[in-house]
A and B are shown apart, each in its own frame.
Chain A
Amino acid sequence: MQRARTEHTEKAWAAIMMAPAVLVLAAVALYPTLASIWLSFHRLILVFHEQRFVGFENYAFLVKDARFFGALGHTAYFTVLSVTAELVLGLGLALFLQAGPPARTLLRAAILVPWAIPTVVSARMWAWFFTQQGDGLLAALGARDIAWLGTPGYAMHAAILVDVWKTTPFVALLLLTGLVGIPPAIYDAAAIDGASRLRTLFRITLPLVRPVFVVTALLRALDAFRVFDVVYVLTEGGPANTTETLSVYAYKTMMRAGDFGYGSALSVMTFICVLFLAAGYFAWARWEENR
């Protein structure tokens, strides 16, 4: 019987099965991306109605732009803190859910709520919570009249808190899928061998869930690096630009100042940073495979 797997047929089938996805992406996603990159090489300020090719001038300005580096720093800080918190809390939540807690269905539905409410609403909700004057829960806890969103230093952590609140369910969900995929037989074997719960966790569960964990970490990092809604609604990048992330800076440059040229350059820079993160992951994944 002829071996069904001739490379030629495989390639043809692959082409057929991938064609719809490739077509859609090329038609709708590729063009805007390329257009943005193209714009970044121009000086285009809407108000002045001029569009001039200026080569790398925007990028030359960017590498000397203190505000860009500030935004980069804020973004990195935000990403590291929020992703770490989300992974830790998400893993804990996933483990808790897997262990079969009481009110499981209610719990599973409830934890999705932060993720389910539209960001424009939940961010405003939190903004109201943080800007209440002298009232409410915060005052009861003794933190009277602190301007959470108006004090440099506090504002960033408030934004991180909101992002963690919002995204931990997403992380927990993905991690749970990984956890539930571990065959119960392994746990039984460990129990027979007399392993303690903590040991089981560290020696068996975590290593087995690592692939999903790293993928989730990557996805969250890529998203956190591009965070916009949460920060913009809470602080608009203030106070004193201390919570301005790359996306907020790019947004203000493009949509307020109308500087599409430099704004595109900022977006491309964000994109390159994100690519670095992704490339790091792929390199790690390949190293893992070869081990």
Chain B
Amino acid sequence: MAALAGLGLAASMSSCRSERAHGGRSNGKIALVIKYQPLGEADAFQRLLRDFERDHPGVSVVAEALPTSSDVAHQFFLTALEGQARDFDLFIVDIVWVAEFARAGWLLDLSPFVAPSEVRRDFLAGLGDAVVFDDKTFALPWYVDTGVLYYRTDLVTHAPSTYQELIFAAERAMRERAEIGGFVWQGRQYEGLVCNVYEAIWGHGGETQQGGHLLLQTDAARAALHYLQSLLRTRVSPPTVTSAGEEEARRAFQAGKAVFMRNWPYAFAESERAGSNLRGKVGLAPLPTVTGEPGHGVLGGYQLGVNARIAEDKRELCIALLRHLTSRAASVELAIAYGRSPARRDAYDDPRLVSEAPLVAALRPAFERARPRPVTPYYMMLSDLLQGEFSAAITGVRSPEEALARAQALVDRLTEVR
């Protein structure tokens, strides 16, 4: 009896599917499905989609959300695209996945519609290299991110421009106030750690890539890891940094437990919220370096790509939606509503953006200074190897020299075998 009831229930649930059938047609309309990550509470994104529907009668756009964790989204796409999914048309692509997805043949070649030269002209520098391979466009940049230094304007007089200044200012603030920590950043073993280490390497004047090869055993890399390790050892950074991701660092900073923080720009909106205890007390600055020159943050952000497997007759529509979402007007809307920094150059000149999202406009120099992580189809593999060794270096399990040597050996084996 129970079995029958169970079967009956299961059967009814199978037939209870959503309106979209295989061909992507529902009540006569062509359905375009876009996979995205939740942007925020405002409905600006939905409005953009409805605008598109108005301009293209006969088309309905369905937006499906994926969890905000980059790893979970990556895992989803790997499973679905390897399983030859055709049930979504547009999808977000993290900047470090574009090479991977392009090489795997999952991203539609957009060059007939958007030439590489157009991409380099319209979008911020550095993004072109991230989405153009073999002189073909594989995705269009949507919004960008980069690492910046946060500081408490009420506790320090100005933002430090060198590491020495940072340490000095942090130590002084810690002496003056008992409960505060110095500098929080992302030291947990994950992609964020790689970003922090790369920024430190660049800050120490080193290069991380040369002619397509990864450079690890350089003086700058050693110095960078020693620096990060010393921050923890001398307690300029509290020990909890080794288990901190973006949110842990932000929470600590927000709770007034740190003077400095390295994080992405999103945290500023949170600290400036009505009712926040840090409102008006937080400033942003470029990352410090050894020499005092403004530092380079890691270039992050998401692009939009088209599923290579969709039907030919849908392609034009998808490109149209793509252009619509990455247009200047759309970029400005997203910036104002959600604080997402546009990838388009001309969006930053838009007067509405300047007046209603001044922070975003002010970040433009930081984005222009931002540098990408190694652009390679096997970036995820690479990152996994680096994460383990970088984590070992900063937690003191291995010396930076040994960690870098091991990392180099692992990377070499990866590149020669592949």
> Which residue numbers of A lie inside 8 Å of B, CB to CB?
20, 45-49, 130-135, 145-152, 155, 235-242, 251-252, 254-260
Contacts and interface: CB of A to CB of B under 8 A. Distances in A.
B391 A241 contact: yes
B242 interface: yes
A145 B242 contact: no
Question: Chain A contact residues: over half helix, strand or loop, or mixed?
Answer: loop
Contact of A133 (B74, B252, B388, B389): B252
A133 B418 contact: no
A64 to B, nearest CB: 12
B243 A235 contact: yes
A145 B238 contact: yes
Given A147-B241, A260-B82, A239 B391 contact: yes
Contacts of A256: 71, 74-75, 380-381, 383-384
B240 A147 contact: yes
A238 B381 contact: no
Given A46-B104, A47-B103, A150-B239, A237 B189 contact: yes
16 contacts: A46-B104, A133-B238, A133-B257, A134-B240, A147-B242, A149-B242, A149-B243, A151-B395, A238-B387, A238-B388, A239-B242, A240-B189, A240-B392, A240-B398, A241-B391, A256-B74
A266 to B, nearest CB: 14
A23 to B, nearest CB: 12
Interface residues of B, number: 44
A83 B274 CA distance: 48
A56 B74 CA distance: 29
Interface string B227-245: 0000000000011111110
A86 B251 CA distance: 33
Given A149-B188, A238-B388, A239-B188, 9 more contacts: A47-B378, A132-B240, A147-B243, A150-B241, A235-B189, A241-B391, A252-B384, A257-B380, A258-B380
B239 A239 contact: no
Nearest to B67: A120
B395 A240 contact: yes
B100 A151 contact: no
Contacts of A133: 181, 184, 238, 240, 248, 252, 255, 257
A150 B395 contact: yes
A134 to B, nearest CB: 6
Interface of B: 3, 71, 74-75, 78-79, 82, 100, 103-105, 179, 181, 184, 187-190, 238-244, 248, 252, 255, 257, 377-378, 380-381, 383-384, 387-389, 391-392, 395, 397-398, 418
B103 A147 contact: no
Contact of B3 (A20, A149, A237, A239): A20
A151 B239 contact: yes
A148 B397 contact: no
A257 B383 CA distance: 9
Contact of A152 (B78, B181, B397, B418): B397
A238 B384 contact: no
Given A133-B181, A133-B257, A150 B188 contact: yes
B14 to A, nearest CB: 13
Nearest to A244: B388
Contacts of B398: 240
A259 B105 contact: no
Contacts of A240: 189, 388-389, 391-392, 395, 397-398
A75 B223 CA distance: 35
A191 to B, nearest CB: 41
B418 A45 contact: yes
A258 B74 CA distance: 10
B85 to A, nearest CB: 13
A151 B242 contact: yes
A219 B181 CA distance: 45
A130 to B, nearest CB: 7
Contacts of B395: 150-152, 239-240
Contacts of B189: 235-241
B252 to A, nearest CB: 5
B241 A257 contact: no
Contact of B238 (A130, A134, A259): A134
A72 B314 CA distance: 48
A252 to B, nearest CB: 6
Nearest to A255: B75
Contacts of A155: 243
A238 B391 contact: yes
Contacts of B104: 46-49, 258
A241 B388 contact: yes
A50 to B, nearest CB: 10
Contacts of A252: 384
A187 to B, nearest CB: 35
A46 B240 CA distance: 36
Contacts of B3: 20
Contacts of A151: 239, 242, 395
A242 B396 CA distance: 13
